[in-house]
Amino acid sequence: MSDGKLSGKVAIITGAGRGIGKAIAVAYAAEGAAVCCAARTAMEIEGVVKEIESSGGRAIAVTTDVTRLEAVENMYQKTVEAFGGVDIIVVNAGGNFDRNLVENSDPENWVKTIDLNLNGAYYCAKAAIPHLESKGGQVFASLFLSTNVRSRPRRVCSKRASCCRRLRTRETADATPV
């Protein structure tokens, strides 16, 4: 795995325990990147690390709740300790804690959704900057995907893309493609 397109690079993938995050982690490792698999569920990311290592790749699992800045900073620190730096960050962690009609929704679940999707992305960006700058700045990718792009009346949803567009544009302006 040392002669791929990402050979010599170190990538952090949040939400790496399943779905798109897992696929990205496995694909980046297959291209030669050392990968930090980060998510809240230790068992899931440990499984992804085993899969990567069984294919000859290098990976670590760091249990991380992106809604806590201290946890995000720890994720970066563990990655630097294991691999010597950070080149690529993929902020994939996200979710929706309430899929009810607005009138049936729980305001506390809305706050949790905003915290995960907006504050989590912000914390990952904020904590990434010193690490990216120390290596000359590489790639910061924040995924703003939605499984349901159709408008549905009175449904609670979170579209962090519009809220984070300014942050994402500003933080990635100097990013150099790998």
Residue 29's domain is classified under what CATH number?
3.40.50.720
Asked if the structure places residue 178 within a domain, the reply is no
The residue written with tokens 């010599």 in the block is 8
Asked if the structure places residue 5 within a domain, the reply is no
Q: What is the count of structural domains for the chain?
A: 1
Q: Which domain holds residue 157?
A: 10-172
**pLDDT score of 132:** 87
Asked if the structure places residue 66 within a domain, the reply is yes
Nearest Cα to Cα of residue 125 among 81, 84, 147, 93? 93
**pLDDT score of 143:** 64
Residues in the chain predicted with pLDDT less than 50, given as ranges, are 145-178
Asked if the structure places residue 1 within a domain, the reply is no
Asked if the structure places residue 85 within a domain, the reply is yes
Kindly state the DSSP code that residue 102 receives in the 8-state scheme.
Answer: G
**pLDDT score of 140:** 64
Asked if the structure places residue 177 within a domain, the reply is no
**pLDDT score of 126:** 92
The residue written with tokens 């962690």 in the block is 93
**pLDDT score of 161:** 41
Q: Are strands 139-142 and 59-63 parallel, antiparallel or unpaired?
A: unpaired
